[in-house]
Amino acid sequence: MIVTQAIFGINVAVFLGMLFAGVSILDNPAGRDLVNWGANFGPYTVSGEWWRLLTCVFVHGSFVHIAINMWCLWDLGSLAESLYGHWTFGALYLICGVIASLASVGWNLSVLSVGASGAIFGLAGALIASYYLGEFSLPRSAFAGTLRSIVIFVGYSLVAGPLLGGMFSARVDNAAHVGGLVSGLILGALIAKVAPQRNDVLPRIGVFLFGALLAFGGIAWLDHARGYDSRIARAQEFLARGDTEHAISQLQSALRRNPGAIDDRVQLARIHARKGDYTNAEAELKRVLAVDPKNESALSSVGVIYLKQQRLPEAQHAFEQVLSFNPNSMAARSGLAGALSAQGKDREALQELTALTKLNPGAEGAHYNMGLMQARLKMYDEAILSFREEQDVSGDDAVIENALAEAYAAKGMKQDAEAARKKAEELQKQQ
């Protein structure tokens, strides 16, 4: 029972590690804790963390969960190891565990799965197949009672387990159980027919290579069918945490699987731009525009990048392209106003801001920018009116009050200018 004892010990060690690390394992622990310890969770597993297919087999969610699984492992493991031998038993256990995990995540991508039960069902399947196909040298009558117990255990777990699972854990993962059982039946049948003797080393290696091929085939299918969506979901999670490096990595990996996903490529470009990596941002946006020259989001984004790089004529052209087919684009109006203003074309910029405020009178910052433009053009009455309209939209703000003070002073309204400066100072103190 050397291998059985080793597997048993690893499971217990991981459980104790979780306990000493403060994980609430006397009851169902938080999903985040289980994920941190290697649980099988679709969006993580299928987005590249395939090692979770194996690590989850050694993680358990509660004391009752590990107690039941270790009791079954001790009984079935000792029997299977004595019949198959050490290395055959170990390979059987691990491959069935991985295939069980694949079945779980393939059946439901959003389910979080832990526990040794899938691998244990694999042992049960192998023992059942080997018995009926004549693997064992001992008389069948000597093994019949044990076989009946195994069949009852499998049937009860598959049928009654989901009904009673709430007594012990959050849920019973029958997809993993079925995956482990079927893989065990297949591998047990192959061992019985192809390599029944312990010294049939090469044929048994061939059996397990076939099992590994099944596992890799399942991984390849999952990666093809669910890999893109999983990586996009993972990228959004990294973005929410502010981890742009990993978000970029996941988006790039997703786009290798689906190069035509325009919206995701635009998002990748924006993340590059947020980091100040304008070269890669522009390259991604140009890939989008090569496919869809009128993509408003890509054109607006590339205009913003040009604006930040002070490539003002190019920025102006990009925003004008957007407005040529969508005159109501507020982002393009705002961007074009910025590009024109930076080139000293204040009157043209003012026209764009005026159009923007007509489209959306409640746009924050639009009236303020209009006021700045009007003040530069010495249109002080209009500037004062624009700053007050910005206050109606955005509320009291020290920056707006200071701009008002300058407009009042330029118009010779000294008392109003002084009052605005004092209010700006009070607002700054409050901040």
Catalytic residue IDs: 117, 177
Residue reference for tokens 């217990």: 12
Cβ-proximal residues to 149 (8 Å cutoff; 6+ apart), any chain: none
- Rounded Cα distance, 119 and 95, in Å: 8
Cα separations in angstroms, 423 against 299, 386, 390, 400: 41, 18, 16, 10
Of the candidates 79, 105, 80, 74, the residue with the CA atom closest to the CA atom of residue 179: 105
For 61, list phi and psi in degrees, rounded to 5: -95, -10
Residues ≥6 apart with Cβ < 8 Å to 73 = 4, 7, 8, 11, 116, 120
The closest alpha carbon to 119, from 56, 161, 166, belongs to 56
What is the spatial distance between Cα 373 and Cα 386, in angstroms, rounded to a whole number? Answer: 10
Separation between Cα atoms, residue 128 and residue 75, nearest integer Å: 14
Tally of residues, the chain? 431
Report residue 299 as tokens.
């054109």
For residues 56 and 39, the answer to whether their CB atoms sit within 8 Å is: yes
CA angle 370, 373, 376 (to 5 degrees): 150
The closest of 357, 364, 293, 350 to 328, measured between CA atoms, is 357
* Chain-centre distance for alpha carbon 428: 41
Query: Cβ of 230: how many Cβ atoms within 10 Å?
Result: 26
**DSSP summary character for residue 113:** E
DSSP structure class, residue 196: -
Q: Distances from the Cα of 180 to the Cαs of 158, 215, 272, 371, in angstroms?
A: 12, 11, 43, 70
Amino acid at 169: S
